Chain A
């Protein structure tokens, strides 16, 4: 099937999310759509999938124009989509999810789950997926959930498959396996649109590349283009992919974790006897695939999640049972993994967000009141120092771009006297320019003698920042290794294989 998007334009109010974008997908080809977060990739795909209606332009299948008023139409035309956030129902089985919307039935409208199981089994076997049709989605690891999504699309006879940031949640090994799967699918005639912002993957698998920036197609480089070439096209200027830093000047251990065990809300043991130390003047990065206990670890350090057993020391003080405020006052800065949920109050202004953790003490507080003059002065200073692009300190946090929102969080945490910085996914969903800036700030914090703990699922980020790398797998530290360790070895550790 040949798929063509011609001159697609989509506006949201005054924002032009897609500006006259054209794209062709030949049968059996892997076409990579490269662009930063917010460049308009997802909007374009939602238009293709019938979730959004374009303001102008048309979609052609085998040179005939088609019109999709909903995902149902798109699917009927042979387009399948694997969304970045999986569209699976956690309490349903694999088979139920796969047939949902397209259910085989026997007499009386009775659901024919036998047929559904057979369908899943057949597709799963054909591509070597190893998926149990009767497993509940919520019990499956993300990698398998993604395969269920692919099965779901194939079960509907998808001839063109859209994969939206499919590797964001995968280990390096799972990513390699996905690449294999993609090649296999392409060979069997399925065309693939592969949306990503990871250059390495594009180089590895793409037959053709289209780069989108600020809603426009900016280039169609050859698949042999170098990473830095692709990066500058994506960002629009030259980018330094490697953060440079001076050798670490290591001091005393300011953050000490001993035999820490933490449970999640359902009493599952998510952190299991973890021990490590972070010294002044070094960056320890915790690498690992999402969901291996990093979230719970970070929450336990801050004190918003109860510690089951073990201890946490911040510059020599035991804070295991301390309140969050006590932990903050002991000199710990915390950048949460989800800025929208835990890092900011999106309905508050920038100035208000910048004082969230210090509202009860001077300089922000004057008696029981807020010292507004002082607050505005500090806000102004931080906005300038941390390069927060905004008209004024009174702008609501929700109106900022992801990168600027994250800078507000970083500014708040680094804006006060710290001994230890804990940063969880510090650059998730942030544009490349802001990534550079935030990384510089992390390194600056380290160089000024703070102990920095970075928790990241992005191996690139870990390698760019870390002095030492601890790899976490299923709640345990697989090993703590030097920053010069090879990707392959780290990848294996992330899958639980110790060196």
Chain B
């Protein structure tokens, strides 16, 4: 008697070549950078501005020839593309760090090309700090999405929760004259919206997507109505909260670039810094998180070890709503300073997309949201430095980069197994 010979690697991955899609896209982008920005780019110099005037430590500006700079970047991009080819030949996926590095260089070239000849140059602080501020609603909306989907509830209503938070924080903040009260009210109100979703979806097993969509429509209706029938008639006393003061953190805020970007912000930004790693820690390092993920993966299995599935889902979804409410507050009292009709403008849906892009992981989702924040500010800034440029076309670039990044993730993306599935006991 002898053991049957079993080919090594059998029942493991069959030899399938990884797709070349990402590599081809990289090659195309490298060529665009080389020719459009580099060799046939704009003549003249570009100035990179690293510091703002009021900062203690001033970094010298960097002025370079635009065409030369972009050509150098293009050659780096080509080198990265070749490296990706090598990975492909070794039958490996292009690693994430490579796509990230590629994206970073490509974006630097784009910025340089846009700001060529412009007096203000590439204002790094302006771009970076606005990226963060604009990304807050997306990040916090994304965290709300993670918190629901990780326990198996699809939360389409994030849009509505952002809008609720924006409205309530502005109105309550103005009425009480205390923005912190406004912020807490926003969180409570959005949590209530989430509770409606949670109880309908978990207790009454109503189709989650439908509840979510209806809630969004409902919140838009209510806020629009209240806005035009009430708030807009007395703007000064009802919708004029202003924004939180910026709180510079001593010493840290004096570090060049990083200080102004990260450590001279409003409370909403600092709360985001706190919430993202905390959520990560809870999800992946504590028993609360283990149980939550178990409920989202295999609710019956969780039930058989004595975990209360309905309760777990209810509270995670509700607390998620709270986080989204804070994101809504960041739109008004954290940035603009007053509420406008439908001002969430689809950011709740983008947040949902970012959740998938970021693989239901708080850190990745945050990075994804930052990319979207960047496109928003890029639009504004591109118009300032090179008026008349086709802005819509330019803002496509970060999304293109995203597509490549996603192509790199492809095949690994897997939602929580029980996402969207109601759990009926017995």
Contacts and interface: CB of A to CB of B under 8 A. Distances in A.
Q: Is B truly associated with A?
A: yes
Given A100-B291, A497-B1, A497-B3, A475 B11 contact: yes
Contact of B14 (A101, A111, A263, A476): A263
Interface string A81-103: 10100111111100010001111
Contacts of B306: 70-73, 75, 101-102
A51 interface: yes
A497 B5 CA distance: 9
A149 to B, nearest CB: 10
B12 interface: yes
Given A46-B426, A75-B306, A268 B301 contact: no
B2 A105 contact: no
A81 B306 CA distance: 12
A111 B11 contact: no
Nearest to A43: B426
Contact of A100 (B4, B12, B290): B290
B4 A496 contact: yes
Contacts of A46: 426
Given A51-B426, A267-B14, A497-B1, A111 B294 contact: no
Most buried by A among B300, B301, B302: B301
B286 A110 contact: yes
Contacts of A101: 291, 302, 305-307
A269 B12 CA distance: 7
Contacts of B290: 92, 96, 100, 103, 111
Contacts of B53: none
B233 interface: no
B297 A492 contact: no
Taking residues whose C-beta sits less than 8 angstroms from the other chain, chain A's interface range is 35 or more
A475 B417 CA distance: 27
A497 B300 contact: no
Interface string A250-275: 00000000000001001111101000
Nearest to B306: A72
B305 A476 contact: no
B305 A87 contact: yes
A109 B4 contact: no
Contacts of A49: 304
Given A88-B301, A89-B298, A109 B288 contact: yes
B10 A269 contact: yes
A10 B14 CA distance: 49
Contacts of B417: 90-91
B287 A109 contact: yes
Most buried by B among A46, A87, A476: A87
Most buried by A among B6, B298, B303, B304: B304
A52 interface: yes
B188 to A, nearest CB: 25
Contacts of B426: 46, 51-52
A499 B1 contact: yes
Contact of A498 (B4, B14, B286): B4
A355 B160 CA distance: 48
B10 A498 contact: no
Contacts of B285: 110-111
A328 B303 CA distance: 44
Contacts of B303: 51, 70-71
B7 interface: yes
B297 A89 contact: yes
A354 B12 CA distance: 39
Nearest to A266: B13
B356 to A, nearest CB: 17
Nearest to B16: A267
Interface in B324-345: none
Given A96-B290, A101-B306, A267 B11 contact: no
Interface in B269-316: 285-291, 293-294, 297-298, 300-308
Contacts of A499: 1
Given A101-B307, A496-B4, A498-B1, A92 B294 contact: yes
A473 interface: yes
Contacts of B11: 268-270, 474-475
Interface in B1-39: 1-4, 6-7, 10-14, 16
A478 interface: yes
B425 interface: yes
Contacts of B3: 496-498
A254 B425 CA distance: 49
Contacts of A100: 290-291, 294, 301-302, 305, 307
Contacts of A81: 304
B315 to A, nearest CB: 15
B2 A498 contact: yes
B17 to A, nearest CB: 11
A334 B304 CA distance: 37
Interface in A440-499: 473-476, 478, 492, 496-499
B94 to A, nearest CB: 18
A473 B425 CA distance: 37
A442 B93 CA distance: 48
A87 B309 CA distance: 14
Contacts of A88: 298, 301
A272 B10 contact: yes
A51 B4 contact: no
A90 B304 contact: no
Contact of A87 (B4, B286, B301): B301
A75 B305 CA distance: 8
Given A87-B300, A90-B297, A269-B14, A497 B286 contact: no
Across the A-B interface, give the 6 residue pairs with the lowest CB-CB distance, nearest first: A72-B306, A101-B305, A103-B287, A87-B301, A269-B14, A87-B304
30 contacts: A51-B425, A51-B426, A70-B308, A71-B303, A71-B304, A71-B306, A72-B306, A81-B304, A86-B301, A87-B305, A88-B298, A89-B293, A90-B297, A92-B293, A100-B301, A102-B305, A103-B287, A105-B286, A109-B288, A110-B286, A111-B285, A267-B13, A267-B16, A268-B14, A269-B10, A475-B10, A476-B4, A496-B4, A497-B3, A497-B4
Given A52-B426, A152-B305, A498-B1, 15 more contacts: A83-B304, A90-B417, A91-B297, A92-B290, A92-B294, A100-B305, A103-B291, A109-B287, A267-B13, A268-B14, A269-B14, A478-B4, A496-B6, A497-B1, A497-B3
